[in-house]
Structure formats: C-alpha cells, structure tokens
Amino acid sequence: MKRLFNKVRKFRDEEDEDMMANNAMVLGAVANYQSQNQPRMRGSHVGRAPNRERFREERGNNLMQDYFIQRSVFSDVQFRTRYRMSHDVFNRIFADLCQYDSYFVQKSDATKKVGLLPQQKMTSSLGMLAYGASADACDEYCRMGKSTSIESLQRFCRGIVAIYSKEYLRAPTANDLRRLLAKADKRGFPGMIGSIDCMHWQWKNCPSGWAGEYSGRKHFPTIILEAVASYDT
C-alpha cells in the first residue's frame, strides 16, 4: 500500500511539474506577444503616471504675442536672428507644411482640449535644427513633451524634403546658369556660377584626443562646413 501511495504521489509531482512548465511557456509567449505588439502611445491605464499639465495653450498664446502678431514683442530682426529665416520664409513653410501634413494643423483631443499650435511645433523643430537644442530644452519654451518634439522634428524634415527637394535639391537649369553667369559677370567675376562659402560649426562633444586637431583661432573645436552658394541662395 505504501509503495502504491509513493508511486501515485510521484506521478502527481511529475504532472504538476509538466503543468507548471506548460503554464510558464504560455505566459512567456503571451508576454512576448504583448511586448512586440504594444503600441508606442500606450494611452491611459492603471499604474501609469498622468500626463503633465504643461499649459501648452497659454504658452502658444505667448509665442504668438512674441513673434506672430502685428505688434509683436520682438522685432523682425530678432525673429530673423532666432529662427534663422525671415517671417516671409517661415510663413511660406508654415502654409506648405500644414497643407502637406495634417499633423501640423491644430486639433482638439477627445476631451475637447485644444492641441499645440503649428507655430509651436515648427519653433521646436527649428530650435533643434538651428541651435542643436535638445528636446528637453524645447519642452521648457514650447511646452512640448520629448516624444512630441522628436516626432515634430522628424515630420518637419520629411515634409521639407518632400515639398522642396524638386525645386532646391536639383541641378541648375539653363536659365539658372545664364542668370548666375550674368550676375557674376556684372560683379566682376566672369564665368563664375557660385562661390565656396565656409562656416565653423562648434563641435561641443568633440573627443578630448581630437580637440587640438580641430581647434584653431576660435580656441574651441569646430567643424568647417563648405557649400557652393550663389548670390540668391
């Protein structure tokens, strides 16, 4: 009798181990599926921290008052310095981007809360492109989360390439060459269609071992960017 009881118990133990192993395999497969198919924006669920109140609508109004109304706080010269482009160029890009990608059009969410202005998204993108600002720095000024700032930058770059590459990233036409040659000849440079323009871009994260090689009269590491430019480009 005792021998039979031990045999039954051993069988049950082996059965329990097999069941536990099967359960572990199932749970592992479910966890792997969930991790691979989890959406990037997870939405609201229990245990997740609530979205930070950034007062983005208020900051958007302040941004409009700073640069985008008739009597703005800052002048056109200051706008040109900070945005690296004129108001006219900004407004053209603004209109083209909103028409190309509805992401830049202001919308309301499910709670009827007004979203970010196109000017906020463009200001954040231009800040990262023109000044090398981080997404966290743009959060402070534009009231945009890190993921939103990065997505805005990616969509901004894709939109610019899609909209303007055929016009500006192309070989010069015959009319372009005639116009450039005539302008250069008038300025005393016959036969020239463009000149090499150089600028020093500060390399903040230059490795210490290379700092001396890339430092010159500016006394900090720089990278020289060269471009062939004409009088109107």
Q: What type of residue is 41?
A: M
Residue burial 194-231, b: 16+ Cβ < 10 Å; e: rest: eeeeeeeeeeeebeeeeeeeeeeeeeebbeeeeeeebe
Span 6-49, pLDDT tens digits: 554 554 555 444 454 444 444 445 445 544 555 555 555 555 55
Give the predicted TM-score (pTM) of the model.
0.59
Which residue would you say has higher pLDDT here, 135 or 56? 135
Span 150-177, pLDDT tens digits: 898 999 999 999 999 888 878 888 888 8
Q: Which two tokens stand for residue 48?
A: 């997740």
Helix, strand, coil shares of the chain, percent, nearest 5, are 60, 10, 35
